[in-house]
């Protein structure tokens, strides 16, 4: 495992995100919707840095199961999400990889008629994008590596790391345990 972003770099990136979001939403209340499970660390740190009236909700979306690194069909559960009609919504996710998850979530949330909808991600792999949608706020662009830490996992491990690391290919294949 190789560290890509130290804990300090991550903190600085989240602070930049919070500053950009605060400037864009000054004088407005915001509904932040975190995408479970990967965004929980980012979501917790981000909302503590925002000096805005806000509500927080969650949506569960996943297209990977177990040790798989191959995307499957997207499954969405919005039971923990507040009413968003006529509200400014910020969808927060851990990583923008191919973009399919964020694209589908924005489409589904848009059907609920928010006043506006934007997205924020900790990490973006620009070279992997397969959709025209781009996140509105990005803390870091990273290379096309399988990353863990700061909420991101591999087979439900490594979410608790305070930094972002890239797993070696043999670790992703299950050989490096």
pLDDT along the chain (177 residues), means of 10: 97 98 95 93 97 93 57 64 93 93 91 96 90 94 95 94 91 56
Helices 7-24 + 40-49 axis angle, to 10? 60
CA–CA separation, 65 vs 52, rounded Å? 36
Domain spans of the chain, in order of start: 7-144
Catalytic sites, residue numbers: 97
Within 8 A by CB and 6+ apart from 152, the residues are 38, 94, 95, 123, 158, 159, 164
Stated pTM of the model: 0.87
Going along the chain, which residue ranges are E strands?
A: 2-5, 30-36, 54-62, 75-77, 88-96, 116-124, 137-141, 147-148, 164-166
- Per DSSP, the three-state class of 34 is strand
Structure tokens at 70: 């191959």
CATH for 7-144 is 3.40.50.2020
pLDDT of residue 70: 54
Structure tokens at 4: 């890509």
pLDDT of residue 173: 66
């Amino acid at each position: 495992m190789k560290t890509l972003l130290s804990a300090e770099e991550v903190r600085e990136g989240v602070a930049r995100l919070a500053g950009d979001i605060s400037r864009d939403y000054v004088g407005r209340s915001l509904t932040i919707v975190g995408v479970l499970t990967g965004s929980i660390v980012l979501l917790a740190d981000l909302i503590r840095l925002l000096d805005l009236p806000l509500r927080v909700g969650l949506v569960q979306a996943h297209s990977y199961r177990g040790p798989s690194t191959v995307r499957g069909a997207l499954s969405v559960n919005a039971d923990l999400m507040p009413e968003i009609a006529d509200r400014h919504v910020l969808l927060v996710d851990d990583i923008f990889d191919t973009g399919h998850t964020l694209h589908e979530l924005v489409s589904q949330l848009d059907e609920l008629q928010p006043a506006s909808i934007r997205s924020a991600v900790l990490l973006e792999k620009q070279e992997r994008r397969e959709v025209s949608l781009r996140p509105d706020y990005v803390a870091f662009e990273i290379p096309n590596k399988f990353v863990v830490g700061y909420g991101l996992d591999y087979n439900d491990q490594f979410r608790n790391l305070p930094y972002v690391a890239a797993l070696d290919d043999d670790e992703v294949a299950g050989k490096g345990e």
